[in-house]
Chains A and B, each alone.
Chain A
Amino acid sequence: MMPTVLGLGFASPALLLALVALPVLWLILRAIPPAPILRRFPGVALLIGLTDRDATTDRTPWWLLLLRILAVGAAILGFAGPVLAPDRAAVPGTGPLLILVDGGWADAPDWTRRAQAVNDLLAEAGRLGRPVAVVSLADAPQPVTFRAAEAQVGHAAALAPRGWLPGQDAAWIAALPDGGFETRWLSDGLDHPGKADLARALLTHGAVHVTEGGTSLVALKPPVFADGAITLAAERPLAGPETAVTVAAIGPDPSGSERDLAQLPLTFAAGATGAEGKLDLPPELRNRIQRFEILTAHHAGAVALTDDSLKRRKVALVSDAADKEGLQLLSPLHYLRNALEPSADLIEGGVSDVLPAHPDVIMLADVAQLTDLETQGLQDWVSKGGLLLRFAGPRMAAADPLRLADDPLMPVRLRGGGKTTGGAMSWGAPKQLAPFPAESPFHGLPLPDDLRVQTQVLAEPDAQLTARTIAALDDGTPLVTRKPIGQGQVVLFHVTANADWSNLPLSGLFVQMLERLAISSRPEDQAVNLAGQTFVPRQVLDGFGRLADAGALAGVAGEALAGALDAGPSPAVPPGLYATAERAVALNALGAKVSLQPAAWPAGVAVSGFTAEKPVDLKGFFLAAALALALVDILAALMLSGRLARGAGAALGLVLLLTLPVPQARAQETIIPPGTSAADARAIQATEGVVLAYVLTGDAAVDQVSEAGLKGLDDQLWARTAVEPLDPMGVDPAKDELAFFPFLYWPVTAEAPALDGATYEKLNRYLRNGGMILFDTRDGDGSSLDGSSPESQALQRIAAGLDIPPLEPVPSDHVLTRSFYLLQQFPGRYVGAPVWVEAAPPDAEQAKGMPFRNLNDGVTPVVIGANDWASAWAVDEYGAPLLPVGRGGAGETQREYAYRFGINLVMYVLTGNYKSDQVHVPALLERLGQ
């Protein structure tokens, strides 16, 4: 480390020796008199012959000497490279040095600082020639060997926070080498299993310095879905003051791009280590959530991935028995309904009724007869990924086997009739289930002892039967079979969905089987649900909370995954998204049953925080001071010798004045008296003059273009017309008062939601009282206004509640075509899309001697178009066009016409149909003539 003097460290302390020369400089400066000044003076004739009484000359004044000495001293100090508060934590030592980092995700928030600290330690150890070992405790334990610091630099550079927390600290004890060494432990401040033991073991080898991160870590627990709402819980290791964090639910929007679907603020009460909140979302939105994230926290613990457990499937139940009056408990759908209701959305009806609802699963309970149309529809639906679950029953058993054999929606061919065992008329006892085969999705589910199957439908034995059987009775006859069709599959339970043929629907196993088929999801009993299956990681989470493709990571046994879900991930089971063919399971960085605890260190461990203050390089400061002193010296020397002209001070002042920022000339500052509320201030600002306004869409890019567009139109209005608008303002029709604005530019985005009733009322009042809205769907490049584009649909959504009169495309004699410029078309960035205005009354007639009809009054309240005018108008801060229009000169002409349309429009807004009054000119002239 660099040597320090009074808390200052110096990069090249040898230069400080030059300070010794300062007294010598003092003497030299004192000895040399200031240079004589040559003065013209007519009175010199009177001086001839006068001699100096004192032979010694004027000395340089002591304060000037001091100034010069200080300047030189500051320069010397500056070049010596002074650094304030160098890293004092780094104390030089001897012997081997062990650098420990926890390496878990808790290190991620301040990882750069930790990496820097490791590099500093390595650099210093390299200077002192100490052997070093760098160990990340989050990695699997391996023997620690000390090497030269240089050899460890690469290893240190490869360190990165892991997605899990270190959990095998105790195992590292065995990996420690013999002999004494010093330990520097860069801890994340959390307690991990075995941490204290490891610290004690390290103390037996030598001194242990712990540097703890000071960040306030906040981690997110896995989300839990219960009672129709998602419960989000956050945790922090240390109870501190009241803190608020925001959790964002992130997932793809309808267009497929990732965005915040919802946000939930969580507040830690003062002194509490946990915070909890409920997020209630519509199922469509909830099913889209891919992960939750604590905003502004960048570590894996702040990310909670979601899996099937948050999803509610849409399950359609279809049975033929609807017309059969019977006891409810005998209904083939009763048990299915009860099993699924808590965890899925149910639809009931006929096949043709439920198919348009796009269910995830369709269950056919004892449906044997399907029309060709229904079969075709179901087949299409299954091949697109649907899951068709069929249950046998008396009807299926009685159906024509030939017909059933042809049914493509049957996993296996059935034999006619069924098999009944254990009844009064049959041999043998009721059958039990055989253990599930390993490739079965049900593998690992425990078999209840009391399960009995009396009756079942039988499959024709053929080559594929074994492959298609996923559950069988102990006599080998298939109980559940399945067949993939396209991306989906058909699963057949060879028993009924009610308790007629077996007690399977009464058992817990039935629910678990449904879960394994991803029909329902329940977070409980994960251990059972996951057991026996192998989960392949699809995506893994790194320590910074970033998802990455898992690549070729090996699959994980369900039991290990279930353990990790509770205890948190480990090197063997990294956090991420695991999946089997049927289902996905999210493993989050923070285990469901893990709580964050601050680290407790055994006595003898020196604990310090990261140095809060960064070392400050003072070189620039000292050199600047030296320069300033030199400048002062120049001034002082000039002043002493009388050469400092009186004007110089004034000139200096002038220079300083010129460097001051000059307020913008055109800015029209509105003086707003203090104490005015924000709304009042806004009103004052909006009423200072004509203000064109645009509607804020919530899409920052669109809003920016709107503002720039109206700014460009403003500039053109200033330049060309008597209208001198102030800077445009953005308005939110739901919140802001609209009455101040004669004109609203409303760019319609595809995502624009419909408005609420109060807003519609406000907008209608605005339109009735003379306001005008220019709706711009900005899609005039093709789709135009035929209602097909998303923007047009959004416009229809918005306009539905507005009080808009019948519209027509702008007729050629409309005032808009001649309110300022004569225009035939109204291009923006696009040309050609029709522009719609209020339709003229049907009885309008051609005015005598005029090329237009006699249309009095009726200024249109809305103008609707698709030409993306704002983009054509938009200018940047220098007044240059922001976006390209068209191509070359033709494009610029188009932009000019776009401006002309804008000017015509504003004129129309401000003067109404004044131009239309020309029709009365002949009558007026005639009257004047009398």
Chain B
Amino acid sequence: MNPAAFDLRSRAETLGAALPPLLAAADQLAATVILGEHGRRRAGMGDDFWQYRPAHAGDSARSIDWRRSARSDAHFVREREWQAAQAVTLWVDQGASMRFASAKGLPEKADRAQLLALALAILLLRAGERVGLAHPGEEPGEAIAPRSGRVQAQILAEALALRRTDADYAPPLTAGVEPRSLVVFLSDFLGDPAPVEAALAEVGARSARALMVQVLDPSETDFPFAGRVIFQSMAGSLRHETRQAGDLAQRYRDRLAERQDRLAMLARQSGGRFHVVTTDQPVTAGLQWLYHAVEGARG
């Protein structure tokens, strides 16, 4: 494991340890064929024994547990607990715009987004869910398929630590999103909104739901600039010069609010939710929201 990945994982473990195991909600439970560790406390398809019940008419002969039935006169059917695991696909913006921190004491947005994503992943993995990544990992393939198990956290951590693009704004990826699963987008959503809408349309097409978390630097919400300023995007693709930066502040904030409204609407349309975290807030607050959001999405 490379040191950056190790560092990221250990910090995420620390953060995740503070929350109780998270039960993933799965409203498409019945349709899920792959069973998770978590029983639904009702008879169903699964590996673990649930109960013996007297055989009814209509039970197939194959379903009768002959070993149990031989101990008595009646026939018994061995029922197993119904277990289900939800698939959660994470997408963390790897664009250059995320590598921004306005002040020395603040973390970069990408840092914060990765931390949140991995903490969530660890919580979910601990609860037995399957977590995947919409990015390609170190292994070949265009995405990391959702899997369960502690090892997956390791794989996710290493994949997140990879730096993939130098473009200013990266379009959201939806590769590997399973139908009726949950997708979590972590980005600043400051770039062109069209790819975002396309991605959400794709998510909707797969009957999946989207949780959108906008990670912003405080200076991006407040716009504390004045005087003659040339603004430049992180990679330098965009430039804007103003003589009175202070005069732009209100209009900038209006545009930001407008963008956030649109994102929230998009999220709602997919049955998900939208949330803004800033890097000067405590990171647990963001995770708390994600925890509740995933629970709520379970519905």
Chain A residues proximal to chain B, CB less than 8 Å:
33-48, 50, 52-58, 640-642
Let me know if A45 and B191 touch, CB within 8 A.
yes
A43 to B215, CA, bound (A): 12
* Residue contacts A-B, CB under 8 angstroms, 5 given: A41-B225, A45-B191, A47-B231, A47-B252, A48-B238
Contact assessment for A35 and B232 in the assembled complex, using a CB-CB cutoff below 8 Å: no
Query: B240 touching A36 by the CB < 8 A rule?
Result: no
Given A33-B243, A35-B228, A42-B220, 14 more pairs with CB closer than 8 A: A36-B229, A37-B228, A38-B232, A40-B100, A42-B168, A42-B188, A42-B233, A43-B220, A43-B252, A44-B233, A47-B248, A50-B248, A52-B242, A52-B243
5 closest residue pairs by CB, A with B? A42-B97, A36-B228, A44-B231, A57-B243, A47-B240
* Contact, CB under 8 Å: A53 / B247: yes
The 8 A CB mask of B92-121 against A (1 = contact, 0 = none) is 000001101000000001000000000000
Identify the closest chain A residue to B95 (Cβ).
Answer: A42
Chain A residues near B251: list those with CB within 8 A: 50
Question: Within 8 Å CB of B228, what residues of A?
Answer: 33-37, 57-58
Determine which residue in B100, B233, B239 has the highest number of CB atoms from chain A within 10 A of its CB, and name it: B233
Contact A641 B227 (CB under 8 A): yes
Nearest to B242 among chain A residues (CB) is A52
A-B contact count (CB 8 A): 104
Question: Which residues of the other chain, A, contact B188 by a CB distance below 8 angstroms?
Answer: 42
> Residue of B at shortest CB range from A47?
B240
Note all chain B residues with C-beta closer than 8 A to A641: 227
How many angstroms between the C-alpha atoms of A38 and B219 in the bound complex? 15
Q: How far is the CA of A45 from the CA of B232 in the complex (A)?
A: 9
Decide: B190 and A36 in contact? CB cutoff 8 A.
Answer: no
B182-200 interface code vs A (CB 8 A; 1 in, 0 out): 0000001011100000000
Contact of A50 among B226, B227, B239, B242 (CB under 8 A): B242
- Report the separation of the CA atoms of residues A45 and B188 in the bound assembly, to the nearest whole angstrom: 12
Contact residues in B for A50 (Cβ distance below 8 Å):
240, 242, 248, 251-252
Taking a contact as CB atoms under 8 Å apart, the answer to whether A43 and B248 are in contact is no
Q: Does B223 interact with chain A (Cβ within 8 Å)?
A: yes
Closest residue of B by beta carbon distance from A37: B229
Q: Check if B259 sits within 8 Å of A38, measured CB to CB.
A: no
B192 to chain A, nearest CB (A): 8
For B192, the chain A residues whose CB sits under 8 A away are: 45
| Chain B 44-60 per-residue mask, 1 if CB under 8 angstroms from chain A, else 0 | 00000000000000000
Chain B: residues with Cβ within 8 Å of the partner, total of 38
| Distance from A33 Cβ to chain B, minimum over Cβ atoms (Å) | 6
| B169 on interface, CB distance cutoff 8 Å | yes
* A39-B244 in contact given A45-B169, A46-B190, A50-B251 (Cβ < 8 Å): no
B292 is an interface residue with CB less than 8 A from chain A? no
Query: Which residues of A are found within 8 Å of B98, using beta-carbon distances?
Result: 42
A-chain residues with CB within 8 Å of residue B242 when the two chains form the complex: 47, 50, 52
Residue B234 CB within 8 A of the other chain: yes
Q: What is the CA–CA distance of A641 and B255 in the complex, to the nearest angstrom? A: 26
B256 at the interface (CB under 8 A from A): yes
Q: Which residues of B contact A39 (CB under 8 A)?
A: 225, 229-232
Residue B241 lies at the interface, judged by CB distance under 8 Å to chain A: yes
Nearest CB on A from B168, distance (A) = 7
Q: In whole angstroms, what is the CA distance A46 to B259 when docked?
A: 9
Max chain B CB contacts within 10 Å: which of A35, A40, A54, A641? A40
* Those of B81-101 within 8 Å (CB) of chain A: 97-98, 100
Chain B contacts of A48 at CB under 8 A? 238, 240
Distance to closest chain B CB from A643 (angstroms) = 11
Task: Tell me which residues across on chain A come within 8 A of B168, comparing CB atoms.
Answer: 42, 45
Contacts of B243 in A (CB 8 A): 33, 52, 54-58
Q: Across the interface, which residues of B come within 8 angstroms of A56, CB to CB?
A: 243
| Docked pose: A39 CA to B231 CA in angstroms | 5
B238 touches A45 (CB 8 A): yes
Residues of B within 8 A of A45 (CB): 168-169, 190-192, 233, 238
> Does A42 lie within 8 Å of B223, measured CB to CB?
no
Q: Is the CB of B255 within 8 A of A46?
A: yes
Say yes or no: A43-B244 contact (C-beta < 8 A), given A35-B228, A37-B228. Answer: no
Instruction: From the candidates B100, B219, B230, name the one contacting A37 in the complex (CB within 8 A).
Output: B230
Whether B234 contacts A40 by the Cβ 8 Å rule is yes
**In the bound complex, how far is the Cα of B98 from the Cα of A33, in angstroms?**
33
**Bound-complex Cα distance A906 to B239 (A):** 83
Contacting pair A41 B231 (CB below 8 A): yes
* Known A-B contacts A45-B238, A48-B240; A38 and B252 likewise in contact (beta carbons under 8 Å): no
Q: Across the interface, which residues of B come within 8 angstroms of A37, CB to CB?
A: 227-230
Q: B191 to A44, Cβ gap below 8 A?
A: no
Residues of A within 8 A of B225 (CB): 39, 41
Residue of A39, A42, A54, A641 ringed by the most chain B CB atoms within 10 A:
A42
Contacts of A36 in B (CB 8 A): 228-230, 241
Report B-chain residues with C-beta under 8 Å of the C-beta of A33. 228, 243
A40 near B232 (CB under 8 angstroms)? yes
Q: Which residues of B contact A44 (CB under 8 A)?
A: 231-233, 238-240
Bound Cα distance from A41 to B217, whole angstroms: 10
By a CB distance below 8 angstroms, the chain B residues around A46 are 190, 252, 255-256, 259
Q: How far is B219's CA from A50's CA once the two chains are assembled, in angstroms?
A: 18
**A36 to B228 alpha-carbon distance, docked (Å):** 5
Chain A residues, Cβ within 8 Å of B220: 41-43
- Residues of chain A within 8 A (CB-CB) of B217 are 42
> In B26-83, which residues have CB < 8 Å from any A CB?
none
Contact B252 A52 (CB under 8 A): no
Q: Which residue of B lies closest to A48 (CB)?
A: B240
Chain B: which residue is nearest A55 at the CB level?
A: B243
**Measured between alpha carbons, how far is A37 from B228 in the docked complex, in Å?**
7
Bound-state Cα–Cα, A58 to B247, Å: 11
